[in-house]
Amino acid sequence: MGGSAINIISKLLKRIFNRTVVCVIGIAIQVTYLIMFFWTLGTAFTYSYYLFSILGVVLAIYIVNMDVNPSYKIAWIIPILAVPIFGSMFFLFFGNSHSGDRLRKRMNRFNEESKLLLPQNAEIMEQLGAKNRTAEKQANYLYTYGGYPIYTNTSITYFPLGEDKFRRLLEELEKAERFIFLEYFIIQEGEMWDAILEILTRKAREGVDIRVIYDDFGCLFTLPYKYNEELEKKGIKCRVFNKFKPIWSAKMNNRDHRKILVIDGHTAFNGGINLADEYINAYPKHGHWKDTAVMLKGEAVWSFTMMFLTMWNYLNNSKPDNYSIYMPRAEDIAPYKGGGFVIPYTDSPLDDEPVGENVYLNIINEAKRYVYITTPYLIIDNEMSRALILAAKSGIDVRIITPHIADKWFVHTVTRAYYKQLVKFGVKIYEYTPGFIHAKNFVSDDKAAVVGTINLDFRSLYLHFECATLMYGTESVADVKEDFLKTQSVSEEITYEACLKVGIFKRIIRSLLRLFAPMM
């Protein structure tokens, strides 16, 4: 009995004093102390309040002169001037959209090396221009400012649900012979990850090079502390992005939100699906979980391989001597001919170029008939809002599907705060009534589609590492559209009349939370 009691107490203490609890408590103490400190200074002494007011004005002037999106500036200036004490404090800790110059220089160094290995085939660009001038402009922008070229000879398989991707993923993992690269925001022990891990462990014993990158904040509540060391013991190389520490820092802003899996350089998976059981509806976390992904086979996979290796090099602060060993073998990609045009691309918060947002804006602005969008969060800046409204005013059929069941009530509340303005001017908004929709899809005019990790919110567009697959003229474009219409059929349309009926209390809460949109 004595030994049993000791074991129970030991397990209890481990639960109470695990890393997550310690980190949360540590940050909570710091935040509480700072709030009390600033509040005391701002209220106990009249001159201190005026000093904070002056600080707010100074920060507002600084923000106005920042080289960032004007709407992002406004979103910070409002809380700073409205609530000088808290607004100034939050900006000083969370307002930086990137990490320090040292980390930025290191990442840029590896990015520049990556670009040398991703040349643009001029002939393919000419072919695209001859078929679609608008698409050529988008591709030229992505290569010039993102560093990622356009490809042909790539097949795309679209998965409308996480369960569909999961089944195919297991099949493709079993075929791996040389290497498997995984980079995910969330990994959680359970049915999905356990099945994947069993294959990875077995493949590692067979000599396959297995590498895993996961975001520490994304896995804070889903993986044990030092889980990377457990993977290393199984022969799986593992790196952790931006390790979460009990110190309140602006570095916490930058997360690796990408979802990439590459097999032998010829097969890649991308989309919104993390490696956790809710993504395959193994249990109903927020009703039915609707998410999407794509599988690429062929030449375009090389870009995803380089995305992963660039992040791996950044975390290692070193690079491989020979990149050619990760290139696909000619016989592996030979079967994939034609198939339209494909551009895998990434977005980094360290280069001051909002690639993800600009790709979306280009699609909206160049649409001729329709733009259909699915997004879990609709927390948009003025530029995105104006683009959506202008398209609708111009007769473009603009439709957006968001969740009906929220995963974060405060974020969902802010999402709904944008409905009234958009619906008033003709944007059609639907909520996915069966549950939570996590997909990040754009499809337009039966010609272009995007499937990836990029949400329509400030964090995705400005603070996170993201990635996506842009498709022109591929068969999968029709699949994305068909899935949107099928999803819309089980969604509830938000009418302008319904927006007007929202109670005054909810309107006030939405307006207040919208002040802090940059932090959501």
Please write down the HEC assignment for all residues of 305-370.
Answer: HHHHHHHHHHHHCCCCCCHHHHCCCHHHHCCCCCCCEEEEEEECCCCCCCHHHHHHHHHHHHCCCE
Residues 447, 504: contact at Cβ < 8 Å?
no
The DSSP symbol for 378 reads B
Are 334 and 359 found together in one domain? no
Are 280 and 148 found together in one domain? yes
Q: Please give the residue range of the domain that contains residue 264.
A: 101-345
Q: Is residue 247 part of a domain?
A: yes
Q: Is residue 350 part of a domain?
A: no
| Amino acid 451: pLDDT | 98
| Amino acid 57: pLDDT | 85
Are 269 and 162 found together in one domain? yes
Can you tell me the distance from the alpha carbon of 12 to that of 237, in angstroms, rounded to the nearest whole number?
31
Question: How would DSSP label each residue in 97-163?
Answer: SS--HHHHHHHHHHHHHHHHTS---HHHHHHHHHH-HHHHHHHHHIIIII----B-SEEEEEESSHH
Can you tell me the distance from the alpha carbon of 81 to that of 83, in angstroms, rounded to the nearest whole number?
6
From the list 266, 438, 447, 464, the catalytic residue is 438
| Amino acid 498: pLDDT | 93
Number of domains in the chain: 3
Q: Is 319 a catalytic residue?
A: no
Q: Is 259 a catalytic residue?
A: yes
Q: Is residue 215 part of a domain?
A: yes
Residue 309, exposed/middle/buried by CB under 10 A (0-12, 13-18, 19+)? buried
Nearest to 498 by CA among 509, 508, 506: 506
Q: Is 257 a catalytic residue?
A: yes
Are 59 and 198 found together in one domain? no
Joined together, the tokens standing for residue 440 give 């990040």
Q: Is residue 494 part of a domain?
A: yes
The CATH number of the domain holding residue 401 is 3.30.870.10
Matching residue, tokens 């939405």? 510
From the list 73, 257, 297, 481, the catalytic residue is 257
Q: Is residue 75 part of a domain?
A: yes
The last residue of one of the domains, among 286, 315, 345, is 345
Please list the pLDDT of the chain residue by residue as tens digits (520 residues): 455 555 555 554 444 445 556 556 655 665 565 566 656 655 555 566 677 778 888 888 888 887 776 767 777 787 788 777 777 777 776 665 545 566 777 888 888 888 889 999 999 999 999 999 999 999 999 999 999 999 999 999 999 999 999 999 999 999 999 999 999 999 999 999 999 999 999 999 999 999 999 999 899 889 988 899 999 999 999 999 988 765 555 566 789 999 999 999 999 999 999 999 999 999 988 999 999 999 999 999 999 999 999 999 999 988 887 898 999 999 999 999 878 999 999 999 888 889 999 999 999 999 999 999 999 999 998 889 999 999 999 999 999 999 999 988 888 899 999 999 999 999 999 999 999 999 999 999 999 999 999 999 988 998 899 999 999 999 999 999 999 999 999 999 999 999 999 888 888 888 777 766 766 6
Are 106 and 90 found together in one domain? no
Distance of CA 154 to the CA centre of its chain: 24
From the list 98, 259, 404, 481, the catalytic residue is 259
From the list 73, 412, 440, 447, the catalytic residue is 440
Are 207 and 169 found together in one domain? yes
Are 384 and 241 found together in one domain? no
From the list 264, 277, 347, 483, the catalytic residue is 264
| Amino acid 15: pLDDT | 47
Q: Is 440 a catalytic residue?
A: yes
Question: How would DSSP label each residue in 242-283?
Answer: S---SS--GGGG--B---EEEETTTEEEEES--BSGGGGTSS
Are 148 and 214 found together in one domain? yes
Are 70 and 119 found together in one domain? no
Distances (CA, A) of 212 to 40, 79, 111, 320, 453: 46, 39, 20, 16, 18
Are 330 and 366 found together in one domain? no
Are 449 and 484 found together in one domain? yes
Are 63 and 128 found together in one domain? no
Residues 6+ apart with CB under 8 A from 300: 151, 154, 268, 342, 343, 344, 469
Q: Is residue 465 part of a domain?
A: yes
Q: Which helix (H) or strand (E) holds 79?
A: helix 70-82
The last residue of one of the domains, among 94, 122, 139, is 94
The last residue of one of the domains, among 54, 74, 94, is 94
From the list 291, 332, 445, 479, the catalytic residue is 445
| Amino acid 1: pLDDT | 47
Distances (CA, A) of 249 to 46, 513, 517: 29, 22, 19
Instruction: Give the pTM.
Output: 0.88
| Amino acid 13: pLDDT | 47
Distances (CA, A) of 59 to 96, 274, 277: 12, 37, 43
Distance of CA 59 to the CA centre of its chain: 28
Q: Is residue 50 part of a domain?
A: yes
Q: Is residue 59 part of a domain?
A: yes
